């Protein structure tokens, strides 16, 4: 089978399309014919081993490979079809169309991959293509995880910082489905797209600092690692929630003090990517409450270009790699 592989850390050009052995499922695994995988910031960070948040550098390096990657095939979020099941598999059958997450096992940048049936995978929404479905799990699961913790009520003011990324796009839509008034913060090129998916207000961070405009928000969902912690907390209304997706160590320490000694709550609990959450997203998609926004779809032999598009942040939605017609 064909797969996009990398054997050393570096720039996007370390990605190569090569022939590799097709995996064989163990008793508790399914063999998936991958149709599409989202090219994510996480993929790019693992490829380069360059992360905006540095505190987990050493344990992660040990986990994924000190001198070179232990798992040479990236791709954690995908959509595909079951082509074979292990003897002990009960949840899936041949022909099932699904979408989900491979976790740190990765492997979705290949035409086929094997995953335990216990991982977070559910039937693909009937009203989505494989490419659209592949762009859901990362952003959708993280956005739903955080916004549920804020217990958003009808009419509350929610600000999404980094609204044009994978998580932010779903954050805007999920917050709107909860009845919130949503302000999206990102670069100016993303304004039209963000308003189209439901943002009530838009702030171009290149022209205005939302932490200094004296407006208050009931909830701030923040994907930007370089954000001012003090500024974001100051921008919260009384009893507001600050949700941090990329916290620094200092932010995590400060969150304990803020939550304990003020009426504001700071949360940085990482998404567990549960099956129930993915099923909830599937239901919302099929009810047309939310959708994925796919900017560009690249074939396997242009994976380096896909990563460049993700890293430059000039994309208007998700970047997806398709495995169709790769042969």
All structural domains of the chain with their residue ranges: 2-136+292-322, 138-267
Tens of pLDDT, residue by residue, the chain (327 residues): 999 999 999 999 999 999 999 999 999 999 999 999 999 999 998 999 876 655 555 566 666 677 788 889 999 999 999 999 999 999 999 999 999 999 889 999 999 999 999 999 999 999 999 999 999 999 999 999 999 999 999 999 999 999 999 999 999 999 999 999 999 999 999 999 999 999 999 999 999 999 999 999 999 999 998 899 999 999 999 999 999 998 888 888 999 999 999 999 999 888 889 999 999 999 999 999 999 999 999 999 999 999 999 998 878 999 999 998 654
**Which phi and psi (to 5°) does residue 216 adopt?**
-120, 145
- On the CB side of 13, CA atoms within 13 Å amount to 0
Specify the CATH superfamily of domain 138-267.
Answer: NAD(P)-binding Rossmann-like Domain (3.40.50.720)
CA 260 – CA 154 distance, rounded (Å) = 26
CA 27 – CA 119 distance, rounded (Å) = 14
**Which phi and psi (to 5°) does residue 77 adopt?**
-130, 130
Please name the residues in contact with 99: beta carbons below 8 A apart, sequence gap of 6 or more: 78, 79, 80, 121, 122, 124, 125, 130, 133, 134, 136, 137, 278
Q: In the structure encoding, which two tokens stand for residue 166, read together?
A: 């994978």
2-136+292-322 belongs to which CATH class? Answer: alpha beta
2-136+292-322 matches 138-267 in fold: no
């Amino acid at each position: 089978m064909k797969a996009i592989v990398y054997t050393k850390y570096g720039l996007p050009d370390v990605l190569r399309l090569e022939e590799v052995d097709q995996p064989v499922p163990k008793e508790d695994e399914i063999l998936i014919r991958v149709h599409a995988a989202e090219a994510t910031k996480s993929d790019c960070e693992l490829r380069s081993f360059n992360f905006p948040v540095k505190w987990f550098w050493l344990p992660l390096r040990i986990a994924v490979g000190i001198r070179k990657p232990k798992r040479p095939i990236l791709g954690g979020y995908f959509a595909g079809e079951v082509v074979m099941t292990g003897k002990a598999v009960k949840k899936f059958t041949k022909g099932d169309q699904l979408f989900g997450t491979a976790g740190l096992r990765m492997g979705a940048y290949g035409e086929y991959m094997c995953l335990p049936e216990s991982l977070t995978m559910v039937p693909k929404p009937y009203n989505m293509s494989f490419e659209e479905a592949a762009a859901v799990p990362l952003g959708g699961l993280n956005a739903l995880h955080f916004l549920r913790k804020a217990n958003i009520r009808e009419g509350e003011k929610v600000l999404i910082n980094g609204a044009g990324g994978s998580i932010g796009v779903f954050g805007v839509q999920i917050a709107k489905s909860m009845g919130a008034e949503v302000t999206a913060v990102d670069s100016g090129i993303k304004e039209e797209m963000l308003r189209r998916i439901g943002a009530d207000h838009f702030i171009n961070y290149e022209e205005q600092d939302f932490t200094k405009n004296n407006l208050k928000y009931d909830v701030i969902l923040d994907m930007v690692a370089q954000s001012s912690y003090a500024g974001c907390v100051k921008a919260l209304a009384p009893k507001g929630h600050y949700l941090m997706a990329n916290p620094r160590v200092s932010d995590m320490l400060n969150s304990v003090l803020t939550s304990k000694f003020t009426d504001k709550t700071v949360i940085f609990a990482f998404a567990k990517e549960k099956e129930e959450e993915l099923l909830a997203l599937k239901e919302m998609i099929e009810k047309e409450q939310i959708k994925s926004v796919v900017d560009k779809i690249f074939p396997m032999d242009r994976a380096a270009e896909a990563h460049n598009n993700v890293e430059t942040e000039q994309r208007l939605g998700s970047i997806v790699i398709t495995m169709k017609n790769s042969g």
